[in-house]
Structure 1
């Protein structure tokens, strides 16, 4: 099956061998997205809400680059470093998915950089282009 690598304009080089997104058969898989700036440094240190907004805006840019919208999201995989941040993450998350919420799960774990408080990976069905 042919696939298309999706890289929004201005995306920095990933820390590991992966692409921001992969589109195959109308399904977009967005890699785990952390609150990184262009230099792969963590932004909004200590602020789970601001980090969540940054992550979701980054995911949105991948989806839009592939020709979709946030309404096309069908599944989110959410990783938090501390359950104490769960409410802040959910408050911002609800702004991006106010209705017809996608399926999701959330787990507590360590992330690749200690100052990162949240990571989200996404699946979106944007249709065959």
Structure 2
């Protein structure tokens, strides 16, 4: 099975030497997404929760461009900077995945550029799409 770098309208431009999305078979591997609004290049105001929700908005946009959607997410790796934000992450996950949430790993790390959250996703593309 070979891998394919996905090139589609609406995908973020990488800030380094990596691919934002790679497809292998019917699996999508999304590079970690932060809470930067792609239209403005800024983090939404209002604290951690809007930043977290923006990261999921970015993920949803990428999945849609690749022929998938949030119900296709099978795994999430959440990197965040403050343990006090875990209840917000849990609440946003419950809103984003109300039933059958994906497997999840979460770790506290330091993130570049003052970011507070970064989410990496593995998702399935339904048969007959993208």
Q: Is 1:19 aligned with 2:19?
A: yes
Q: Where does residue 126 of structure 1 map in the other structure?
A: 125
Counting only pairs closer than 5 Å after superposition, residues 38-49 of structure 1 correspond to structure 2 as 38=38, 41-44=41-44, 47-49=47-49
CA RMSD of aligned residues (A): 2.0
Q: How many Å apart are 1:48 and its aligned residue?
A: 1.4
Which segments of 5 or more consecutive residues in structure 1 lack a partner in the other structure?
Answer: none
- Contact map agreement 2:27 2:124 (CA 8 A) in 1: yes
Are positions 1:105 and 2:93 aligned together? no
List gaps (5 residues or longer) in structure 2.
Answer: none
Provide the C-alpha distance between the structure 1 equivalents of 2:94 and 2:112, rounded to a whole number of angstroms. 25
* TM, length-normalised to structure 2: 0.86
Q: Secondary structure at the match of 1:44?
A: coil
Q: Distance in 2 between matches of 1:21 and 1:5?
A: 5
Q: Alpha carbons of 1:3 and 1:44: their partners in 2 closer, same or farther (altered >3 Å)?
A: same
| Structure 2 Cα separation of the partners of residues 69 and 18 of structure 1 | 22
Runs of 4+ in structure 1 off by over 4 angstroms are 39-42
How far does residue 83 in structure 1 lie from its aligned partner after superposition?
0.3
Q: C-alpha separation between the residues in 1 aligned to 2:112 and 2:39? A: 15
2:106 aligned counterpart, secondary structure = strand
TM-score by length of 1: 0.86
Cα 1:102–1:80 change in 2 (3 A) is same
- 1:58-105 CA-to-partner distances (Å, cap 9, x unmatched) read 001111111111001000000110001111121112111000111011
